[in-house]
Amino acid sequence: MKLSMAYAWSPGIHWFARRFAESLAPPHLGRVTLAYMNPKGYVSTKAQIHHAALFVGTHVFIGDGEVLFQHENGGKIKLDDFVVIHPDVIIENGADAGIRIGKHSSIHPWSQLRAQLSPIEIGSGVMLAAGCALYSYDHGIAGETPIRQQSLTSRGPIIVGDDAWLGTGATVLSGVRIGQGAVVGAGAVVTRDVPDYAIAVGNPARIVKYRNAAPPAPAT
């Protein structure tokens, strides 16, 4: 596998080298190790990337069935070092909105990050469990006009602080900030800010308690 990954980005043979490495690697989470074998990381041969402003750091993992899609006028998508995007995640943006995912963050299968009008900013060390949905926009609902013909609206960006954890199936709507070290329970619908180190559950999400952890000391 290491030899194949050494050639994973070589002109002319990169697809075949990655395909051979895939055939030797364990399935599912075991395949993430491929990204550590080459500073340029690993992009599955089954990923679908249609994006002219994609910036990828070192040792990034992009799994099977991943879709990275840029609508007209879409902003940048930036994946920082050691980001892990598990299979069947959709990340798309348009209307001048960008998406950034910080170092060592992981997005688990079937999650969706969709940015329009306002950006999505995910910090470092963030974990999104399977099936999370982050939408930085809504459809207008005025009058009797069909929803599909309504203009998009947004209450502002979605910001997820460092080391936050979103449980399975959590949904985050536009204009929400989830604080550093916060936890969002499975299936929660987050419509307002979640403070640092808070635990929020339910629909709409509400704060039930705070974690027994003090914020880290500032770097010196």
List active site positions.
139
**Rama region for 210: left / alpha / beta (φ>0; ψ in -120 to 50; rest):** beta
**Token couple for 149:** 């013909």
**Distance of alpha carbon 176 from alpha carbon 178, whole angstroms:** 7
Phi-psi domain of 100 (left: phi exceeds 0; alpha: psi -120 through 50; beta: other) = beta
Q: How many CA atoms lie within 13 A of 92 on its CB side?
A: 15
Query: Which token pair is 18?
Result: 């990655």
The Cα–Cα gap between 115 and 22 comes to 31
Q: Which amino acid is at 9?
A: W
Contact 95, 74 (CB under 8 A): yes
